[in-house]
Amino acid sequence: MKITSILFEAFLKCPTKCWLRSQGETDAGNEYATWVKAQNETYRIEGVKRLTGDIAPGECVTSSPGTENLRTAKWRFALEFAAKLQDLESNIQVVERVPSEGRGKPATFIPIRFVFTNKLTRDDKLLAAFDALVLSEVRGRGVELAKIIHGDDYSTLKVRTSARANEVRKRIEGLRALSTASAPPDLILNRHCGECEFRDRCRQKAIEKDDLSLLAGMSEKERKELHSKGIFTITQLSYTFRPRRRPKRLRDKREKYHHSLKALAIREKKIHIVGKPELKIEGTPVYLDVEGLPDRDFYYLIGMRIGSGPTAVQHSLWADTAEDEGKIWREFLAILETVEKPVLIHYGSYETTFLKSMVEHYGMPPKASKIAAAVSSTVNILSRIYAQVYFATHSNGLKEIAGSLGFKWGANVTSGLHAIVWRNGFETRRDADAKAKVVNYNEHDCSALESAAEFLRLLPMGTSPNLNSAVVVDDLDVTNDLDRWGQRKFASEDFRLIADCAYFDYQRSRVYIRSNPEVGRANQLKSRRAAFRNRPNNVVALRAKRCWRCKTTNIAYDTNRWHRKLSLDLRISPGGIRRWITEFRTPFHRCLECELPILPRTYKSKPRYGRNLIAWLTYEHITNRLSFLHLELTLRECFGIRLPFCRLFKLKHVAAKFYKPTYDQIMKNLTRGNLIHADETKMKLSEETGYVWVFASLVDVAYVYRPTREGDFLHEMLNGFCGVLVTDFYSAYDSLPCPQQKCLVHLMWDLNADLLKQPFDDDLKFITAEFGHLARTIVGTIDRFGLKARFLRKHEHEVTRFCKSLGGRKMVSEIAKHYRERILKHRHKLFTFLEHDGVPWNNNNAEHAIKPIAKYRPMVRRTMNRRGIQSYLILLSIYQTCEYRGLSFLDFLLSGQRDINAFAESKGRRRRRRPTVMGTPENGPTEADAERPF
């Protein structure tokens, strides 16, 4: 393979691009790459005209000199000079010949390249050095100098090639190794991909391979380090993330960026949140996006979106020429002057550089003005997202982030490079359509920036619609791979076979049995014990008297052939529990009119599992918190009933659906009462982290699961409640219209903890002493007379005096000021119980009801889904209500009733009646089971 300047240039950008070009791969096209190629060609033609315009025609060779001896050359410039030697070839755009300065001194040859950009890169200089190296090999004498003509002013840069010769030779050796390789190089995406004509092809391949180079923020050094550890894909990298608790000394420092967490977010397709990112906009948001030409340091479009939502106003300030840059800057400041308390919001550092450049060139607004404050204290959304919010995207670019949040661009734009092409079209042809495209693109960028900022603003409140699939990293369980249960992945089938043969059961049944007779006898006993049969205690024969199709009674029976079905149940008495199995059988029926087989409807409706069995399972799971695995073992060992693990889950849902009316009745009792205690606690499920809310009166308890801690649902759920709501200091309760009582114990514990931390704070000591004296006096009255308003109202003047003493004292410490504001803010909610009968001064009733959830939480360990927790909370609400009313939960389940008030009136007597059953067919619960009494 010939190493040409075209391949060398491609190799500098990307080895894969070089390989594809060497193999003659057809590119998929790239608007920017095509434009760059056309610009370079146009610039070269114009540059050659400028270079050779003033010389005589004979001094310019318009084609390659070929085999001409360079020593005898008379020309001054050679265009398209083809320098070839062995496997090196360079089509040098222009070679300048400088005549000899004297006898014995040869002429000097200088390769010249044309680059249309104003700023040169390291690759441009290496290409010029490559031309000089090839030319020196052809000439047989070193070429020490090369020139690059570039920019709008056709400036000339001299490149000392000797300083770069070693690096060029290293690159050539790498290119030779690539040309002799039998396989293409490793596909690695880099920054050049946006400018490459093979971009779409390579990105598709990288996605198929799940390559690490898809992560735009990962450096080559980090990627090689992961490769050395055997990690080559994003999915592999995602399994390396381990949530760790940060040391106290690092809590105030910025969180480190974790590529493994980014990979985890991509694999799970969920947003992962680290810490508590927040965005507070104290003023009018102004979303800023600037378009410019980086190589010219020219900013030609300032996009401003003032406000949020449908009422936002968009401004697009356009500069036709570089001289208009100052004009649009002044227009920008004038618009900011009309905005009340503007807050500039942007994405990335480009706008920061823009503002700094404008201030340097055109001056800073007056320091005391609101414009100066806005310009000097901008909000960078990217800095708020970085290392704190991990989106399920391969990069943190605005287009990918906003796209993941549901924002749609008006055109198929993949990068800002298109804007450069459109701007050039406007400058060269004054194309109005090109200008409209740039302005429209900028407006969409401002709107996308608004969507990202709105997401960050709503993030602490948990009200963003994109948070349904969000994961808080602090809530992730720290587990060790060695402690995980379940199927393992094996890199080798030999390892799988060895692991299978190492299992405990396999060795006892296949290995130890051959050498240890005691193990053999134990296996025989175990097989006998497992081979029991469910023998029926009762047999019920059922027959159909009428065909359910044609209603005829002309039915034939075959008593030699029977359908059989077993119903498994328990018989529970004050003296014990025993298994009770009923066999339902029916002979084969055949309708003589229809000539079709039939089954009695009564036979079809017989359940597989009886009411008492489901009641006992529910009781053990809710009251004693036995897991379904333990219940399966207990049923098999104690009653000889084989009930699959998965069937127990279905029976729980059947029971919850049956008792849903009872749960609704409890909720109605709460809203019709005069007192509710409310509290909430976190619950980690398999797919999300939500909250369990508890609402309790003195005789009723109801649990509600919500995916967030937002309290909007309280208005609908407690609609019509006119009693007193006893809560902690969570602000979600403050919007409810009913009277409220804040828990004084919460306030007491907070004061106690802070005073222990700051024992020498006199202001905090004063607040604690005054509050303690007041609370002790009131509690003394409650202990003597109970929660009766006619005895408690006498303390209202003491409360007034306490609040006046707080308001009149000058506080120095910040913590004391905080408590004073807190007490005065909730003045009328802290002592509501003084005006109502039967209202307690603490929230212990709700906190006591939270304890079953706190004890049940470690059992599930993120194994329960939302449907499972909702079914559990229905049954737990009934259990807690029975406990608060002094009723037996098991008796209520066995009674088959669903009206808990009627059951309470009957004083909880266990009803003995013919077992009406609620169960499931062989395949599990049905919709009819929810209405069948049990």
Tell me: the pLDDT tens digits for 230-246? 899 999 999 999 887 76
Given this model, what pLDDT does residue 568 score?
Answer: 87
Structure tokens at 181: 């390789």
Cβ within 8 Å of residue 897, ≥6 positions away: 903
Task: Out of 358-362, 587-591, 616-620, 837-841, pick the least confident.
Answer: 587-591
Tokens encoding 825: 């803010």
Q: What letter does residue 609 receive in the DSSP assignment?
A: B
Q: Give the model's confidence band at 535: pLDDT under 50 very low, under 70 low, under 90 confident, else very high.
A: confident
Query: Residue 474 has what pLDDT?
Result: 77
Tokens of residue 56, six digits: 């005589």
- SS3 state of residue 342: strand
Q: Is the pLDDT of residue 871 over 70?
A: yes
Instruction: Tell me what pLDDT residue 525 has.
Output: 63
Cβ proximity of 825 and 819 under 8 Å = no
The pLDDT of residue 522 is 66
Q: 507: pLDDT confidence band, cut at 50, 70 and 90?
A: low
State the pLDDT at residue 923. Answer: 40
What was the pLDDT predicted at 532?
53
The per-residue pLDDT for range 327-384, each reduced to its tens digit, is: 999 999 999 999 999 999 999 999 999 999 999 998 888 888 888 889 989 999 999 8
Mean pLDDT for the stretch of residues 735-747: 91
Tell me the pLDDT tens digit for each residue of 194-252: 888 888 888 899 999 999 999 988 998 999 899 888 899 999 999 999 887 766 666 66
pLDDT tens per residue across span 368-381: 888 888 998 999 99
Task: Identify the pLDDT of residue 462.
Answer: 67
The most confident of the ranges 176-180, 277-281, 840-844 is 840-844
**The pLDDT of residue 676:** 94
pLDDT-based confidence at residue 486 (cuts at 50, 70, 90): low
Asked if 459 contacts 467 with a C-beta cutoff of 8 angstroms, the reply is yes
Residue 806 has pLDDT above 60, yes or no: yes
**Helices H, strands E: what count in the chain?**
35, 24
At 930 the pLDDT is: 42
pLDDT > 90 fraction of the chain, expressed in percent and rounded: 37
Distance CA 858, CA 510 (A): 37
* The pLDDT of residue 138: 84
Q: Name the residue with higher pLDDT: 511 or 745.
A: 745
pLDDT band at 181 (very low <50, low <70, confident <90, very high): confident
What's the distance, CA 229 to chain centroid? 27
**How far apart are the C-alpha atoms of 442 and 499, rounded to whole Å?**
59
pLDDT band at 520 (very low <50, low <70, confident <90, very high): low
* Residue 917 pLDDT exceeds 50: no
DSSP 509: I
Amino acid 831: pLDDT: 92
Own/partner pairs for 900-905, CB < 8 Å, 24+ apart? Answer: 900/662, 900/665, 900/666, 901/665, 901/669
How many angstroms separate the Cα of 774 from the Cα of each of 767, 780, 820, 844? 11, 10, 15, 20
Instruction: Flag whether pLDDT at 920 surpasses 50.
Output: no
- Tell me the average pLDDT across 13-30: 84
pLDDT: is 926 or 635 the higher one?
Answer: 635
Instruction: Provide the 8-state DSSP code for 507.
Output: I
pLDDT for 5 equals 87
**Cα separation, 650 vs 856, whole angstroms:** 19
Across 898-917, average pLDDT: 66
Q: Quick one: pLDDT at residue 197?
A: 87
CA distance 100 to 102: 6
Residues 6+ positions from 419 with CB-CB distance below 8 Å: 291, 438, 441, 442
Res 583 pLDDT > 90: no
Give the chain's mean pLDDT: 85
DSSP-derived 3-state class of residue 24: coil
Considering only residues 462 and 874, tell me which one the structure prediction assigns the higher pLDDT.
874
Q: Find all residues with CB under 8 Å of 359, minimum gap 6, and list them.
A: 375
Amino acid in position 704: V
Of the pLDDT bands very low, low, confident and very high (cuts 50, 70, 90), residue 542 is confident
Q: Does residue 524 have a pLDDT over 90?
A: no
Distance CA 760, CA 325 (A): 60
Residue 928: the pLDDT is: 44
pLDDT on residue 919? 43
Query: What is the per-residue pLDDT for 915?
Result: 46
CB 744, CB 775: distance < 8 Å = yes
Residue 467: its pLDDT value, please? 66
* pLDDT tier, 574 (very low <50, low <70, confident <90, very high otherwise): confident
Residue 489 has pLDDT above 70, yes or no: no
pLDDT band, very low/low/confident/very high, at 476 (cuts 50, 70, 90): confident
Question: Which structure tokens are listed for 911?
Answer: 């009803």
Question: For position 285, what pLDDT does the model report?
Answer: 93
